[in-house]
Amino acid sequence: MDIAEYFKYWGKAKKTLEQTSVDYHLLPYHCLDVAAVVDVWLTESRTLLKQIALQINCSESEAKAIVLFYVLLHDLGKFDARFQNFVKAIRVQLQGDEFEVESEKYDHGSYGYLHFIRSYGHNEAMKAVAGHHGYCDTSIDRNLTEPDADEELIELDKKARKEWVEFCLDWAGLIAIPGGCNRFCVTAI
């Protein structure tokens, strides 16, 4: 059985050697943890869920599926060699040492949104989620460059992002990327 490429990426890493936690948390598990918290929040706060459903003109179950889908994508930009190379030792452990990556400034929120729109088109919900640290710089849209890395690693990043979006659609019970509420985007929940 092949393991999905998205399991070759870390999402959270130890900040200091003094921390007693594990060295890193895999990116898919981090995203699922965040989605689990939002799921509980929406379940416990019926008023919030009702308001979201009213705003996007959906049933509550459809609104919840859509919100959880986008929450799962909040760190899509971490499926990129530039982010992964912030802690090179972990990247090497997960992806092997045969790849070279040049370190550079990288904003995973803005680039996550730009990676998304390259494949799926502009999407305001994704822009909001990608800007979860306060800002999503869409001005870099025309200048989106690939990492200065081996071509194989760039392709691994693209494949992992694609597989992750497909997993998130399936997990949320969606059959297409929602741009608002499309009655045909949600399967039985």
7 pLDDT above the threshold of 80: yes
Q: Is residue 35 very low, low, confident or very high in pLDDT (cuts 50, 70, 90)?
A: very high
The pLDDT value given to residue 41: 97
Which of these ranges, 26-40, 64-78, 107-121, has the smallest mean pLDDT? 107-121
Rounded to two decimals, the pTM is 0.87
Task: Write the pLDDT tens digit of every residue in 85-132.
Answer: 999 999 999 999 888 888 888 888 888 999 999 899 988 899 889 888
CATH number of 23-172: 1.10.3210.30
189 pLDDT above the threshold of 90: no
The pLDDT value given to residue 21: 61
The C-alpha atoms of residue 161 and residue 149 are separated, in whole angstroms, by: 17
The pLDDT value given to residue 107: 84
The pLDDT value given to residue 184: 39
CB 115 within 8 A of CB 161: yes
Domain ranges of the chain: 23-172
Task: Write the pLDDT tens digit of every residue in 133-187.
Answer: 777 676 666 566 778 888 899 999 999 999 999 999 999 999 999 974 444 344 4
